[in-house]
Structure 1
Amino acid sequence: MTRITAVGFDADDTLWHNERFYRETEARFADLLRPHCDPDTLLERLLAAERRNLGHYGFGIKGFMLSMIETAADVTGGDVPAPVLKGILEAGHEMLAHPVELLPDAEAAINALAGRYTLLLVTKGDLLDQERKVAASGLGDAFDGIEIVSDKSPAVYARVFAGHGGAASGVMAGNSMKSDVLPMIAAGGHGVFVPHDLGWVLEHAEPPEGDPRYHHIDTLAGLPPLVATLD
């Protein structure tokens, strides 16, 4: 077995809450557009807009705001009422300012692994927003490297872990099977799935059951003992 030298963490919904703010904003968006479209149809159209726009705007709140505006224009026939537009912008601004709330066991897991392994934070999304959340979390100084990327792929993980023993000597833990687990395994490392109660449908993927480099833990409390068994 290759010795483990580095452990990577996803940020949103792995170390701190994130998806629930999107869900709250979707409910607010549905209320704003209720006179023009039923909520279920509206949110289906919003998801379709997000899917279309990922290649243009990337991941994060700003792209989500633009997709909401596009969807509002779509369902109102291009005549978005000013109060609706204002409400969308206000909701987005509130998301960009929401406090960072750590998930249980996040800090304890980091502290248990610090000093024994190189710790990396690998997150995707808007640069300014992710930097704000890292600073507000109080966890930034615990990491030996912080990477804010536009997307997560095998090539990205290979690059991130290259200076820390290589992906084959790395572990990546996160709540997204699609972004945190599968591409890390494809890069030659260990992918650890840490489920969150709320998951974005566009991050869903089937687990690679039977792959020896795939691991599932219920919470981050299980990460330090898991890494110890791999080392």
Structure 2
Amino acid sequence: MGQRYRWTIGFDADDTLWHNERFFQLTQARFAELLADFTDPDALSETLMAAERRNLGRYGFGVKGFVLSMIETAIDVTDAKVPATVIAELIRAGQDMLEHPIELLPHAAEAIGALAPEAEIVLITKGDLLDQERKLAQSGLGDLFDAVEIVSDKTPDVYARIFARHGATAAMMVGNSMRSDVLPAIEAGGWGVHVPHDLTWAYEHAEAPSTHPRFREIESLAALPELVAALP
């Protein structure tokens, strides 16, 4: 299908097409409240971030790994004295996150719809398979994508394989993460388009490749169709 078009355009999902990080931050705030008697919020946040980074290789990205990292952190900061009621509440918080309704970001559907007639549109997202499939189904965007790629991580090799498989002469990745959406896509030979989001997870931050010829940044997805049309 990709050979009908010049472009294969990949879209990130979480915090590019729909809200996601806000629910992690709300849950983390509740986590801090539950453990306020044991440690201060800043120290707890640092310990949790260290656990999340350490556990990415075990659990991958997504809600389930986040909940397991919170439980591990709770055991750590309480010297294994964390009440079972706190563990139970963390599990319930994770279940609530997995059931939360999807709220699209502005211009998501319009941008994809505008580009679909002239590009192969691919959702490229990482995280838990079931959760990502649920969010896509609830988003109402599923029919706009020519393909869906749910991957364990976003690396240059992963992008190179996806771009090659979809066969267009030019490839682009659009997303809010400099670390996962922009830099590895550029390294794989594609364009990287950054769409900033105020609540991007700290792990996803990286320095922008400002001088790279295949890097662009736009304020919102509303500007994407015009950007694509203007590229050489």
**What TM-score do you get using the length of structure 2 for normalisation?**
0.96
One-letter amino acid of the structure 2 residue matched with residue 217 of structure 1:
I
The residue correspondences of 1:64-143 to structure 2 (distance < 5 A) are: 64-143=66-145
In structure 1, how many angstroms separate the alpha carbons of the residues matched to 2:59 and 2:148? 22
Q: Structure 1, unaligned stretches of length 5 or more?
A: none
1:184 matched to which residue of 2?
185
1:73-115 CA-to-partner distances (Å, cap 9, x unmatched) read 0011112201111110111110000110000000100110012
Conserved? CA contact 1:6–1:164, under 8 Å: yes
RMSD value over aligned CA atoms? 1.1
In structure 2, how many angstroms separate the alpha carbons of the residues matched to 1:63 and 1:163? 30
1:158-188 CA-to-partner distances (Å, cap 9, x unmatched) read 111113235x611110000000000010011
The residue correspondences of 1:167-206 to structure 2 (distance < 5 A) are: 169-206=170-207
1:61 to 54, 60, 63: 63
1:16-71 CA-to-partner distances (Å, cap 9, x unmatched) read 00000000000000011111111111111101110111111110000000000000
Conserved? CA contact 1:4–1:171, under 8 Å: no
In structure 2, how many angstroms separate the alpha carbons of the residues matched to 1:184 and 1:38? 38
- Secondary structure of 2:44's match? helix
| Matched positions, count | 228
In structure 2, how many angstroms separate the alpha carbons of the residues matched to 1:155 and 1:228? 27
One-letter amino acid of the structure 2 residue matched with residue 48 of structure 1:
A
The residue correspondences of 1:42-53 to structure 2 (distance < 5 A) are: 42-53=44-55
- Secondary structure of 2:52's match? helix
Conserved? CA contact 1:5–1:164, under 8 Å: no
**What TM-score do you get using the length of structure 1 for normalisation?**
0.96
In structure 2, how many angstroms separate the alpha carbons of the residues matched to 1:99 and 1:132? 10
Deviation at 1:150, TM superposition (A): 0.2
- Secondary structure of 2:182's match? helix
One-letter amino acid of the structure 1 residue matched with residue 189 of structure 2:
G
- Secondary structure of 2:166's match? coil
1:213 matched to which residue of 2?
214
In structure 2, how many angstroms separate the alpha carbons of the residues matched to 1:67 and 1:179? 21
1:15 to 14, 17, 26: 17
